[in-house]
């Protein structure tokens, strides 16, 4: 059986996605299509690397060794054609904490920070929790996809935004920004001297037709930029808490490192280091097969909705495994939609958590075996047929 269609039992593994549902919903057997991790095993070379490390038996403090840095450096060059130096890489226990630290360390207390909604909800909280001001550049829904509003973006930059957090590829709308779009963002940030932070956690999960462009390709034009990347989504190792933050500019990097030190963020997770080394050197084929699987799953969703729920509008998925579905024809808030869907037996994310304008939308995580997805779709179909 295809690796990605092989079900794994994640119950009673302290899985946030599977095990916390019971507490959140007070119900048994609710299928999870929410938190962004995947429901198939990670790649074999990663399993082997971790198993071999476990056999060693000593799990003491770990440091980020030169081999690790070389591997990350080679990965971004080999896959995304941008060159970095090893000492530009700073590891953190996740990208969300890195965003929080970057805001605190690299912007003033009065700073205005641009995000583009609808967007991954911690983008709001990392700004709010640092008492900075959010400037929202709403994405423009055009046909079945979303575009950046460059006119408004320039106006917000003119207003004096100190930082822009770009979600690239974009969760939840599934856009993989084109080279032209990325270049335009970089040039605008440069023109208005705005620090550009690009969260590229989903960059490996893009379909062939939509190649990924990292802002890292433009370090020669502008170096006030930070790339946040990680093997966590790509290889289903988010629980190992290891991300790589790439900061070219020495002053920014030193300030960021100082922030980590103040907050006592020190040694990395040893399993995260092992897993990332294996992921970035031995798992290209696995990754390619996974992307094909996600693309097939997306097709399945589109076909199912077209046939059974044609009133819904699904944003074109170019990358990520998160599908953005407009269910406003049901005339329910996102919260009500999610509640009803829980009663029918699946858990999805409410659209409103990604932006105030998106009540009535849901986000569906399709990184699972096809059979599981089919079950979830049938539950949504049943709910719509009975409730409409
Ligand atoms: C855009 C984006 N950034 C960051 C994260 C989470 O990053 P981390 O677990 O490294 O904090 C997610 C998880 O869904 C995400 O979608």
CA of 95 to the centre of ligand 1 (A): 6
Per the structure block, which two tokens stand in for 256?
């960021």
232's tokens: 């966590």
CA 340 to chain CA centroid, Å, is 26
Tell me, in angstroms, the distance from the centre of ligand 1 to residue 385's CA. 34
Nearest residue (CA) to ligand 1, atom 9: 94
Give the Å distance between the CA of 201 and the centre of ligand 1. 6
For residue 339, CA distances in Å to 346, 349, 358 come to 9, 10, 16
Q: Which domains does the chain have, with CATH numbers?
A: 3-43+284-387 (3.90.1150.10), 58-282 (3.40.640.10)
Helix (H, G, I), strand (E, B) or coil at 245: strand
Alpha-carbon distance of 125 to 81, in angstroms, equals: 32
- Please report the atom of ligand 1 found closest to the CA of residue 170: 1
Pocket test of ligand 1: the residue of 17, 38, 95 to mutate, having most ligand atoms within 8 Å of its CB, is 95
Contact between residue 365 and residue 340 where contact means Cβ atoms under 8 Å apart: no
Residue nearest to atom 10 of ligand 1 (CA): 94
Closest ligand 1 atom, residue 230 Cα: 10
Write the CA distances from 274 to 66, 260, 322, integer angstroms: 13, 22, 27
What is the position in ligand 1's atom list of the atom closest to the CA of 322?
16
In short, whether 36's Cβ falls inside 6 Å of ligand 1 is: yes
Query: How many angstroms separate the CA atoms of 333 and 338, rounded?
Result: 9
CA angle, 196 as apex, 195 and 200 as ends, to 5°? 150
232 ligand 1 Cβ < 6 A: yes
Protein residue with least CA distance to atom 14, ligand 1: 36
| Per-residue pLDDT of the chain in tens (388 residues, 90 and over written 9) | 799 999 999 999 999 999 999 888 888 899 999 999 999 999 999 999 999 999 999 999 999 999 999 999 999 999 999 999 999 999 999 999 999 999 999 999 999 999 999 999 999 999 999 999 999 999 999 999 999 999 999 999 999 999 999 999 999 999 999 999 999 999 999 999 999 999 999 999 999 999 999 999 999 999 999 999 999 999 999 999 999 999 999 999 999 999 999 999 989 999 999 999 999 999 999 999 999 999 999 999 999 999 999 999 999 999 999 999 999 999 999 999 999 999 999 999 999 999 999 999 999 999 999 999 999 999 999 999 998 7
């Amino acid at each position: 059986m295809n690796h990605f269609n092989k079900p794994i039992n994640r119950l009673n593994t302290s899985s946030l996605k599977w095990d916390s549902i019971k507490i959140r919903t007070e119900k048994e057997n609710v299928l999870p299509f929410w938190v962004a991790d995947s429901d198939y095993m990670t790649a074999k070379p990663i399993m082997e690397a971790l198993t071999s490390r476990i056999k060693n038996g000593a799990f003491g403090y770990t440091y980020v060794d030169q081999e690790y840095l070389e591997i990350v450096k080679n990965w971004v060059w080999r896959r995304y054609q941008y060159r970095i130096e090893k000492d530009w890489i700073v590891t953190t226990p996740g990208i969300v904490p890195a965003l929080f630290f970057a805001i605190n360390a690299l912007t003033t207390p009065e700073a205005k920070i641009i995000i583009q909604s609808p967007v991954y909800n911690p983008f709001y909280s990392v700004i709010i929790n640092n008492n900075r001001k959010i400037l929202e550049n709403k994405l423009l829904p055009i046909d079945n996809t979303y575009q950046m509003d460059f006119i408004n973006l320039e106006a917000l930059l003119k207003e004096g935004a100190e930082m822009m957090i770009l979600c690239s590829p974009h969760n939840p709308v599934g856009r993989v920004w084109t080279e032209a779009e990325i270049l335009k963002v970089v040039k605008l940030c440069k023109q208005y001297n705005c620090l550009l932070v690009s969260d590229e956690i989903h960059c490996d999960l893009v379909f062939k037709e939509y190649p990924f462009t990292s802002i890292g390709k433009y370090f020669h034009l502008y170096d006030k930029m930070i790339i946040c990347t990680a093997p966590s989504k790509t290889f289903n190792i988010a629980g190992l808490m290891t991300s790589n933050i790439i900061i070219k500019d020495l002053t920014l990097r030193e300030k960021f490192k100082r922030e980590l030190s103040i907050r006592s963020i020190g040694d990395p997770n040893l399993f995260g280091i092992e897993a990332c080394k294996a992921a970035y050197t031995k798992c290209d084929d696995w990754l390619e097969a996974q992307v094909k699987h996600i693309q097939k799953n997306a097709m399945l969703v589109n076909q199912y909705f077209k046939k059974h729920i044609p009133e819904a509008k699904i944003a074109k998925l170019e990358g990520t495994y998160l599908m953005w579905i407009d269910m406003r024809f049901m005339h329910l808030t996102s919260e009500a939609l999610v509640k009803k869907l829980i009663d029918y037996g699946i858990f999805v994310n409410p659209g409103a958590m990604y932006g105030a304008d998106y009540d009535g939308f849901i986000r569906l995580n399709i990184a699972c075996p096809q059979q599981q997805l089919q079950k979830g779709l049938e539950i949504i179909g049943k709910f719509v047929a009975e409730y409409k």
